[in-house]
Structure 1
Amino acid sequence: MDVLENLIQTFTAESSRFFSNSTALSIFNETYKAVMVQILEEKKGTGKNPIERVTDFVKESVKEPVSRNEVRAVSSWLLYSGIIGYCDLYNNGDVTDVVSNRRAYFMDNGIANHITGY
């Protein structure tokens, strides 16, 4: 767990240099948690996409003003870096009725395990 914590902290510190806003570190930390919360709380039939749910969580958690674009930039970076991924939804198994990027998930179970605290 210490190794995972060090990896996450190093990745976050290195990545925050690419964002001009000083709140990037807070947004990064809260985005990790927000992805986990949306995984655990999503109910069937919710119309929000993962970015909307993550943004709502981050805005409530960070004490400074946070824009949707900042959260989107962090989420895109996490996606590009292979930390999170998105999966699609086939409505009722119909391959012609696809909802893209329906859910976010962690690509590495170790990181997900660390975020939950277990």
Structure 2
Amino acid sequence: MERCDAELGRLMSIFTNESKRYFDDVMETDTFEKLFHGIAVTLIREKQGAGDLVEDLSKIVYKQESGRFTKKMINHAISWLRSSHIIGYAGKSIDCDYLNIKENDRFYFLDVGIAHFFVARAGADEATIRGIVAENFVYLTLLRRISKDIAGNAPWFATYGKTKGELDFYVRSIVDYKNYGVEVKAGSHSGNTVTRLYQDGKIDYIYYLKGETCGGKADDGKILTVPIYLADRIAFDIGD
């Protein structure tokens, strides 16, 4: 693990150096290190109930650098990281409504090793790191299925106004046109928000993706528990 960690650090250093040729100002490539740290911090804060993560990211960079970087430079660097397949976005659905989506409202890393690398360096404890890496892993599995059996331009998470809670991922199937709630747990716990959304009829089915489970079904097969390593295999056609 230590050797892998060192190799990831070396690769990210190469990426930053190679990117310099595409920027007019060397200061712009210096934003990468700050952005990587900022993205990791926003993912950690999300676990503690933070709000707008994109806005939080800008505040982190501005605060650390006392205005050395302009908003234009930050946006330029973010766009470069996206086009270079380093980071990706998730949209936010309000109350699991597929017609009420706020696009580009959360960052994820497009590699779980890189996610672990930067979240660990931001100072997160082991339990937090496991949770973030697990969620990032599921994000990537859902991203690969966009337009195949999942609606949207990117995976969505959801907020629920009644409970002020949050659902890890909300899926609108384009196979059976049902709503699925996906809750990711590195351990064996369940989520309160996803249960309330299901009870209130906002979602039709629940998938619990857990690190410590052998799987199972409940409520006539509408609530399914699946080992997280099988995330690529879950189906969004139950109501078909």
Same fold, judged at TM 0.5 (above): yes
From the CA coordinates, give the structure whose radius of gyration is larger: 2
In structure 1, the gaps of 5 or more residues are: none
Any gaps of 5 or more consecutive residues in structure 2?
122-240
Counterpart check, 1:117 vs 2:120? yes
| Whole-angstrom distance in 2 between the partners of 1:25 and 1:62 | 14
Q: What is the letter of the counterpart of residue 120 of structure 2?
A: G
- Matched-pair contact (CA < 8 Å) for 1:26–1:62: no
| Equivalence for 2:69 | 66
For 2:41 and 2:98, how far apart are their aligned partners in 1?
A: 28
Task: Kindly report which structure 2 residues correspond to 1:1-118, keeping only aligned pairs within 5 A, or say none.
Answer: 1-42=5-46, 43=49, 46=51, 48=52, 50=54, 52-62=55-65, 65-117=68-120
TM-score by length of 2: 0.45
Q: Deviations over 1:21-79 (max 9, x none)?
A: 232232110000111111111336x3x461x3222111222366110010000001101
Partner Cα separation in structure 2 for residue 54 and residue 17 of structure 1: 25
Find the residue that maps to 1:95 and give its secondary structure: coil
Letter in 2 for 1:86: Y
**Structure of higher RCO (CA pairs closer than 8 Å, 6+ residues apart):** 1
CA RMSD of aligned residues (A): 1.8
- Larger relative strand fraction: 2
The alignment-based identity, stated in percent, is 26
Hey, which of these two has a bigger chunk of helix by percent?
A: 1
